Amino acid sequence: MEKSVKPDVRSSGCALRVGTGLDVHAFAPDRRLMLGGVEVDYPLGLAGHSDADVLVHALTDALLGAMGLRDIGFYYPPDQERWRGYSGQAFLEDMRRRLADEGWEIVNLDCVVVAQKPKLAPYIPRMIETVAAGLGIAPSRVGIKATTTEGLGFTGRGEGILAQAVVLLQKGP
């Protein structure tokens, strides 16, 4: 019996694609805390080669995955000096260009930031606006929430922050 092989979804006219992303960074002194392209008032930032914006990094991985591309580390290797201090806003603008070049449009995206501290609720409206502007989409297409782990695990102990993202893309006309 012959096995059929489906064509590559990037060239098959597949109309919808889903991608997920996850990122984690440990807290570090002497760094700004950047989440969703917004500076959060907190005495610690996140360790990383770039600005360590876990929300944007998770979202970037989700977008790359939905486009059928490789992960964030492939396109922005942390061992290359050119990415040192690279901002979340720059990642979003790169993704905006890549989406347009590949013919994809964001239907919606949904993200969750897991952190015991700081309290993020006051920053979420600005994060939504910043992510939407960076990707060139309406804020109504962006969902961002924050939660804790009720004191459990590395986030609960205040050692760092985790972010997850899921995106739905559709092929443009």
Residue 140, C-beta contacts closer than 8 angstroms, at least 6 positions apart = none
Answer yes or no: is 9 within a domain.
no
- 85 pLDDT more than 90: no
Answer yes or no: is 7 within a domain.
no
Answer yes or no: is 2 within a domain.
no
pTM above 0.85, yes or no: yes
> Which position has the token pair 């490789």?
70
In which band, very low, low, confident or very high, does the pLDDT at 42 lie, cut at 50, 70 and 90?
A: very high
pLDDT at 14: 62
Give me the number of domains the chain comprises: 1
Residue 96, C-beta contacts closer than 8 angstroms, at least 6 positions apart = 134, 135, 136
Residue type, 138: A
Answer yes or no: is 8 within a domain.
no
pLDDT at 88: 83
Answer yes or no: is 11 within a domain.
no
Higher pLDDT residue, 12 or 56? 56
Answer yes or no: is 6 within a domain.
no
Q: Give the residue numbers spanning the domain of 71.
A: 16-171
pLDDT at 34: 97
- Residue 111: closest CA among 33, 64, 156, 55: 55
Answer yes or no: is 87 within a domain.
yes
What is the domain-level CATH number for residue 161? 3.30.1330.50
pLDDT in tens, 60-76: 999 999 999 999 889 88
Answer yes or no: is 137 within a domain.
yes
